[in-house]
């Protein structure tokens, strides 16, 4: 059943339906933040930065997982278009008492914030509370590292984080059942009902066209019919073009409803990762299987952003400072591109043609990322230089791989850098110099001089060109030190 101009989701415990043909105050590109603030009773959701950076707009979403159970995630609502939350439950600080729009009974995370004086001006507090709520639902007695990771995306200028961390630790030390646990069966039935009654969504309203297909076949048909449409999945970057640059999108093809793109599978030769897999899910999948992937994505961004951003979207953006590209190029990853009639494989290194330009045809989508299974003889390291550790764009990023023989001779070395040119690229001259040579500090220092002169980066707000040139030279030294320590 195709649903024209309508979406449905759960808010305040009940199904809400929006008909864009009747509600002229809303557009398909209205953000969830702006919708909530206009809907009444949800003014706790604040705009701080409008780019998913400060966490003041953090909300929780619950959706059905593969076992038809509720999965809770935190997201930054300022960069999420309203149709993207179709079929999900929205949760704001007003809902935490279990009595919508009333605050007669505080949730355990709210009580902990009060007890430990975790709020002063209060502007950021609802976002902090929502990040803590998702932590509470997903973890019991979490480690300090897990708590910090959950709260990294919430900036608080006046309280200081120690009291907030103590509150999170105390709240999550208890049994993590609450009013939401009691009502889960009702919410599950609501979400199943929405899924049953809706399939493809097509919104034509106020000179906007928004397509959200439910199958790959329909997605490819729409891609062929509307090659001019902006493709989104997590929209964590595309949405910024609207919120920060006031760009208007007349036509959007939203692939976030395609379950086929959210799968990860292993075969004999490859890890096969659907283009719609979130950065957070990808990171967690490879904690033990291939640790370099987990390590590289750990500081991709805050948890709210990692829950939204997808591997396919990050690749397609073709940003020279995109965090996944040095990793994937160093791992010799490939892309599976698909149109209605055929598929083709292409190396990611060849897919990126120039600054933010790729080799994708106007009737294709990225279907899968294929990462060759690792050779145990290789050593891998990933590095990211940025002004902030956990929530910042790279100044320089790098991924290296190394294969040494038993005599410490370099059989193969791969040095891939982001932030040093218009595209992510290998330091080919430095690789050629080191190949066949002994792995020792003298050769590394000589290679560093070659590396220093191999790129001509730009200077910008993040670093001067000279700083970047020195940084890559020092990263090679760090690589040597890390391996030999």
DSSP conformational letter for 290: S
The pLDDT value recorded for residue 259 is 94
Quote the CA–CA distance of 275 and 272 in Å, as a whole number.
9
What digits encode the pLDDT tens for the residues 326-378?
Answer: 999 999 999 999 999 999 999 999 999 999 999 999 999 999 999 999 988 99
The pLDDT value recorded for residue 207 is 83
User: What are 448's two structure tokens?
Assistant: 């560093």
DSSP conformational letter for 393: -
Helix (H) or strand (E) holding 382: strand 378-385
The strands making up 396-404's β-sheet, listed across from edge to edge, are 378-385, 396-404, 410-418, 425-426
List the chain domain ranges.
3-96+180-254, 108-177, 376-485
Topology (CATH) of 108-177? DNA polymerase; domain 1 (1.10.150)
Quote the CA–CA distance of 44 and 47 in Å, as a whole number.
10
Which pTM value belongs to this model?
A: 0.95
Topology (CATH) of 3-96+180-254? Ubiquitin-like (UB roll) (3.10.20)
- Phi-psi category of residue 41: left, alpha or beta, with phi > 0 → left and psi -120 to 50 → alpha: left
Give the pairing of strands 396-404 and 410-418.
antiparallel
Quote the CA–CA distance of 410 and 124 in Å, as a whole number.
51
In order along its 485 residues, the chain shows pLDDT tens digits of 466 889 999 999 999 999 999 988 999 999 999 999 998 899 999 999 999 999 999 999 999 998 999 999 999 999 999 999 999 999 999 999 765 555 568 999 999 999 999 999 999 999 999 999 999 999 999 999 999 999 999 998 887 899 999 999 999 998 778 989 999 999 999 999 998 877 799 999 878 899 999 999 999 999 999 999 999 999 999 999 999 999 999 999 999 999 999 999 999 999 999 999 999 999 999 999 999 999 999 989 999 999 999 999 999 999 999 989 999 999 999 999 999 999 999 999 999 999 999 999 999 999 999 999 998 899 999 999 998 776 788 999 999 999 999 999 999 999 999 999 999 999 999 999 999 999 999 999 999 999 999 999 999 999 999 999 999 999 999 999 999 98
What digits encode the pLDDT tens for the residues 413-441?
Answer: 999 999 999 999 999 999 999 999 999 99
Beta bridge partners of 70: 64
The pLDDT value recorded for residue 388 is 79
Class of domain 376-485: alpha beta
């Amino acid at each position: 059943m195709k649903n024209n101009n309508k979406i449905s989701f759960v808010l305040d415990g009940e199904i809400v339906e929006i008909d864009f043909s009747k509600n002229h105050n809303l557009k398909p590109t209205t953000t969830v933040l702006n919708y909530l603030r206009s809907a009444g009773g949800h003014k706790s959701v604040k705009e701080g930065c409008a780019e998913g950076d400060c966490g003041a707009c953090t909300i929780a979403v619950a959706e059905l997982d593969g076992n038809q159970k509720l999965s809770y995630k935190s997201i930054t609502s300022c960069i999420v278009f309203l149709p993207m939350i179709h079929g999900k439950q929205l949760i704001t600080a007003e809902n935490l008492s279990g009595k919508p729009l009333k605050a007669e009974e505080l949730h355990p995370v709210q009580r902990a914030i009060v007890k430990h004086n975790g709020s002063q001006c209060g502007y950021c507090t609802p976002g902090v509370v929502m990040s803590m709520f998702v932590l509470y639902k997903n973890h019991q007695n979490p480690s300090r590292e897990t708590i910090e990771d959950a709260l990294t995306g919430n900036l608080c200028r006046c309280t200081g984080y120690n009291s907030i961390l103590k509150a999170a630790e105390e709240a999550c030390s208890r049994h993590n059942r609450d009013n939401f646990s009691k009502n889960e069966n009702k919410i599950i039935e609501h979400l199943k009902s929405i899924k049953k009654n809706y399939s493809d969504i097509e919104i034509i309203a106020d000179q906007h066209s928004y397509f959200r297909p439910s199958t790959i076949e329909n997605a490819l048909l729409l891609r062929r019919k509307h090659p001019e449409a902006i493709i989104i999945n997590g929209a964590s970057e595309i949405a910024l073009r609207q919120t920060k640059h006031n760009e208007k999108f007349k036509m959007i093809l939203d692939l976030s409803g395609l379950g086929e793109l959210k799968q990860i599978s292993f075969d004999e030769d490859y890890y096969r990762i659907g283009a719609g897999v979130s950065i957070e899910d990808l990171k967690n999948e490879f904690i033990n299987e291939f640790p370099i992937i987990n390590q590289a994505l750990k500081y991709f961004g805050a948890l709210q952003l990692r829950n939204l951003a997808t591997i396919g979207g990050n690749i397609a953006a073709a940003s020279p400072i995109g965090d996944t590209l040095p990793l994937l190029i160093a791992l010799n990853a490939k892309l599976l591109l698909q149109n209605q009639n055929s598929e083709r494989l292409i190396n990611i290194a060849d897919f990126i043609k120039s600054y933010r330009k790729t080799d994708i045809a106007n009737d294709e989508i990225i279907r899968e990322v294929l990462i060759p299974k690792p050779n145990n003889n290789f050593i891998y390291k990933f590095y990211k230089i940025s002004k902030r550790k956990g929530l910042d764009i790279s100044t320089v990023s790098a991924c290296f791989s190394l294969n040494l023989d038993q005599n410490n001779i370099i059989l193969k070395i791969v040095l891939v850098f982001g932030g040093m040119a218009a595209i992510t690229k290998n330091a080919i001259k430095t690789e050629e110099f080191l190949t066949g040579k002994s792995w020792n500090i003298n050769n590394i220092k000589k290679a560093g001089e070659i590396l220093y002169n191999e790129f001509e980066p730009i200077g910008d707000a993040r670093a001067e060109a000279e700083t970047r040139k020195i940084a890559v030279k020092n990263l090679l030294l760090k690589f040597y030190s890390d391996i030999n320590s």
